[in-house]
Structure 1
């Protein structure tokens, strides 16, 4: 675990907030549909920022800290692609106009990062207090991998999360987007626009993904600073990445299988670490450089296999995958089509 001074924490958090504000200004100043050229530019920009930050970590903390950061960042970046599947479903389900999608994504991602920071703090405290936390994290990841495989051809029910249901009870929901606002007035009463529900759906759905992605990052580094920055820099470029690979997502037919294998692999790594530290030193651990190599090979093979499969079977489309079977709702509860 690297020794990070307070000023470095403050500077890093300031940099992340500054980048989010900058991204928000770019997205909100002129609402518009994002083209491929613009999405490519910003995706490359945020990947470059994440890589430069990793090089700074490498120079300051050595090869171990640098390798752990890059491993965590790649794990988070790969798992965030699954988030994008869900974001596409949410945008489609609520029929969000393209010019409002940027702002909604950014607000949702910002809320997700704040909630993830809380979960990271809780996870780090649990690791310091209870040695068996790694065992629990490992079992959670293996269970998640199994569930993702079982329900890989299902779509998550983005309209049935706890927070979305609560928001619908607190505010009447309008069908009008009211110029991109989240709250508005209609007939003398305050109403929520569909953008508020979309924002809540994105933020709350991401928290569910964080319950497996954060333990996964703790599987490659136990340092809270590296876990937080890996999450933050993976989320920072998510808005641009969404528009860049939106059309490619449905072609990644084996993505859920690849992510399941990665989660199961990291779960085994965490369990081996627990056994090595708390049972007997004779049980080997999986070193982080090997973990990075395995994750990269799985991602490359999954992507290549998906593209080959779709080339020969163009009718096949990828699904987001779900961690639980979609709840069947009575017919009268189905949302009205717009």
Structure 2
């Protein structure tokens, strides 16, 4: 695998991630079930974003020492672009987590533990997928075009299916578990399995964790190919992915209840995926610089958030207007009767 990173750089990154997880879990009480406050979530969100920013600065310094400023500039741009892509796609993942928690009525004090286990599983799954992806690209260059076609198709599907929420009751994992396992109707703390009258039962906690892991696997199928449009360096791909995943858990508790305020974000993500896929497909004839990609992704997300907020404000203003209660159809019917 072709990468500029040395063994000490890999080791330093793993020490950083494991050290931060240790502080979160064992020092600040993360291993105890508790409701995550907005203040705590904001603190950890800013912590991971700051660490990502500082990592980019450290990356520039290390690469500049070894290969010069131009090479350092290129690698840092790749890292920040990959991080932004992965973080934005993770936001969509976060809203699906919210639906899972709502469907299974996960108590607020258990949601943190579910996401912690989900993050740890996601790190292992994405590491394996990145290794496979890098190997495939190194052996078969045409795989990049397969990724490009896949991303374009996925983006188009997201544009036209963004209004369709998944029906969790028909999810094959849920149906299989309900058909083949005894599941307790109530949560049993953080336990996955319990014995009742000598029989072994799974708990809803077990089902929820499996659903979260499966969801992340599905989203990783989109996000991993997306970053290969920016770089095929496994160090950049892996580090940008991990920083985005680690920040997702805290970001969930900040934004999960605000899905209605990001109505157009899914459309923005669809455009981002289609753009990245198209970039991969036209690469032999037209090279899109990394800073163009970073600007395009950032601008698309920024505009989608602005439009979402404008829509939310218009809806709130319409509700506050006297005589505007009810649905548009009800108001139209009332006007006709008048």
TM-score, length of structure 1 as denominator length: 0.86
Counterpart check, 1:7 vs 2:8: yes
Question: Structure 1 residues 54, 160: CA separation in 2 closer, same or farther (over 3 Å shift)?
Answer: farther
Alignment partner for residue 117 of structure 2, among 99, 107, 120?
A: 107
Q: Deviations over 1:197-235 (max 9, x none)?
A: 111101111111111111111111111111111110001
> What is the deviation of 1:28?
4.0
Q: Deviations over 1:43-69 (max 9, x none)?
A: 111111111111111222211111100
Question: Structure 1 residues 21, 196: CA separation in 2 closer, same or farther (over 3 Å shift)?
Answer: farther
Alignment partner for residue 302 of structure 2, among 278, 300, 303?
A: 300
Question: Structure 1 residues 202, 27: CA separation in 2 closer, same or farther (over 3 Å shift)?
Answer: farther
Match of 1:60 in 2: 62
Distance 2:51 2:179 in 1: 41
User: Which residues in structure 2 correspond to 1:207-218 (within 5 Å)?
Assistant: 207-218=217-228
Distance 1:168 1:229 in 2: 37
Match of 2:21 in 1: 20
User: Which residues in structure 2 correspond to 1:62-211 (within 5 Å)?
Assistant: 62-158=72-168, 160-168=170-178, 171-211=181-221
Distance 1:165 1:53 in 2: 43
Q: Deviations over 1:6-41 (max 9, x none)?
A: 232233223223333433334644322112111111
Question: Structure 1 residues 121, 89: CA separation in 2 closer, same or farther (over 3 Å shift)?
Answer: same
Q: How many residues align?
A: 308
Question: Structure 1 residues 218, 99: CA separation in 2 closer, same or farther (over 3 Å shift)?
Answer: same
Which SS does the other structure have where 2:257 is aligned?
A: coil
Which has more radius of gyration? 2
**Contact residue 113 and residue 232 of structure 1 kept, 8 A:** yes
Match of 1:334 in 2: none
Gaps of 5+ in 1: 277-282, 317-338
**Contact residue 164 and residue 200 of structure 1 kept, 8 A:** no
RMSD of aligned Cα (Å): 1.9
- Greater fraction helix: 2
Distance 1:313 1:5 in 2: 53
> What is the deviation of 1:291?
0.3
**Contact residue 2 and residue 223 of structure 1 kept, 8 A:** yes
Distance 2:62 2:143 in 1: 29
Alignment partner for residue 38 of structure 1, among 37, 40, 64?
A: 40
Which SS does the other structure have where 1:184 is aligned?
A: strand
Match of 2:51 in 1: 49
> What is the deviation of 1:91?
0.4
> What is the deviation of 1:73?
0.3
Distance 2:317 2:164 in 1: 17
Distance 1:298 1:145 in 2: 13
> What is the deviation of 1:70?
0.4
Which SS does the other structure have where 2:35 is aligned?
A: coil
> What is the deviation of 1:261?
0.4
Gaps of 5+ in 2: 64-71, 319-338
Counterpart check, 1:265 vs 2:275: yes
Match of 1:336 in 2: none
Match of 1:323 in 2: none
